[in-house]
């Protein structure tokens, strides 16, 4: 029987993202990836999901029970998130962001023209997720511990891997995934630009 691969690291070019309608049919999403924790059945619902929302008009967001989410403005002049409970929050350029519960009813109101927004969603009873916006100026070292997935979305610039992974270079809009098996995984991203870094790990009790 062949041994299990030591890692599942890959780069997904932006032109491979799947474009689909929002659940409520009021907008478009380019899905980057829908992931499941290790050991989950292949036909089970996703545990976490990355996508880019294309907001072209004021519209209600889909409601996701049991889901937490974080929205980051990628491009455009901004969007106002107006919640049914009376709270509102503006995402301004260059890259404002907001974390909120998927059960909350919210309307996206464009401030001045269409926007593209990075959308991280995860099942709070299954997954813990963290997101950072970081500049890429020269080499950056990433370590992925067993059971943990790291994602690097290149918002702007160019990047390559200064390690022995054999991964291809990244252009703006591409996304890289790093997931180790059994051993800690190390990657070195080198280049210039801006990154969104995401760490996904099992929630307490879901291992």
Mean pLDDT across the chain, nearest whole number?
A: 91
Q: Could you write out the DSSP letters of every residue in 157-172?
A: EEEEE-SSS-PPPEET
What's the pLDDT score for residue 50? 98
Q: Which CATH class is domain 126-202?
A: mainly beta
Apex 132 CA angle, 182 and 14, nearest 5:
80
At residue 3 the predicted structure's pLDDT band, cuts being 50, 70 and 90, is very low
pLDDT digits (tens, 9 = 90+) for 33-55: 999 988 788 788 999 999 999 99
Judge whether 137 and 160 are in contact, CB under 8 Å.
no
Range(s) for CATH 2.60.120.10 in the chain?
A: 15-123, 126-202
pLDDT tens digits, residue range 20-33?
Answer: 988 777 788 999 99
Q: Is the pLDDT of residue 8 over 90?
A: no
pLDDT in tens, 170-207: 999 999 999 876 788 899 999 999 999 999 999 986 65
Domain range 15-123, CATH class:
mainly beta
Q: Are 199 and 172 in contact (CB under 8 A)?
A: no
Distance from C-alpha of 197 to C-alpha of 165, rounded to nearest angstrom: 19
Q: Which two tokens stand for residue 79?
A: 């969007």
pLDDT of residue 205: 67
How far is 114 from 117, CA to CA, in rounded Å? 10
pLDDT of 6 over the 80 cut: no
Say how many CA atoms lie within 13 Å of 18 toward its Cβ. Answer: 8
DSSP tag of 15: G
Q: What is the pLDDT of residue 4?
A: 40
The mean pLDDT of 151-164, rounded to a whole number, is 95
Give the model's pLDDT for residue 180: 75
| Torsion sign over Cα 108, 112, 115, 119 | negative
pLDDT surpassing 90 at residue 1 = no
DSSP string covering 166-193, please? Answer: -PPPEETT-EEEEEBSSS-EEEEEEEEE
Kindly report whether the peptide bond that precedes residue 94 is cis, defined as omega within 30 degrees of 0.
yes
Using one digit for the tens of pLDDT, what is the confidence trace for 96-150?
999 999 999 999 999 999 999 999 999 999 999 999 999 999 999 999 998 899 9
Torsion (CA) 199, 118, 31, 197 in degrees, nearest 10: -20
């Amino acid at each position: 029987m062949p041994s299990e691969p030591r890692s599942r690291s890959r780069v997904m070019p932006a032109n491979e993202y799947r474009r689909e309608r929002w659940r409520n049919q009021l907008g478009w999403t380019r899905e980057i990836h829908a992931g499941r924790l290790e050991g989950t059945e292949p036909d089970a619902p996703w545990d976490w999901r990355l996508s880019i929302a294309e907001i072209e008009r004021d519209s209600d967001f889909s409601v996701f029970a049991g889901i937490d989410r974080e929205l980051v403005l990628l491009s455009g002049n901004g969007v106002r998130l107006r919640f049914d409970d009376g709270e509102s929050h503006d995402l301004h350029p260059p890259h404002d962001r907001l974390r909120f519960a998927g059960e909350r009813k919210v309307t996206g109101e464009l401030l001045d023209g269409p926007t593209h927004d990075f959308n991280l969603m995860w099942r709070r009873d299954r997954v813990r997720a963290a997101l950072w916006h970081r500049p890429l100026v020269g080499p950056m070292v990433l370590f992925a511990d067993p059971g943990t997935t790291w994602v690097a979305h290149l918002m702007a610039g160019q990047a390559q891997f200064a390690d022995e992974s054999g991964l291809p270079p990244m252009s703006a809009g591409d996304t890289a995934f790093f997931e180790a098996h059994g051993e800690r995984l190390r990657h070195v991203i080198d280049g210039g630009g801006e990154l969104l870094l995401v760490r996904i790990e099992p929630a307490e009790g879901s291992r």
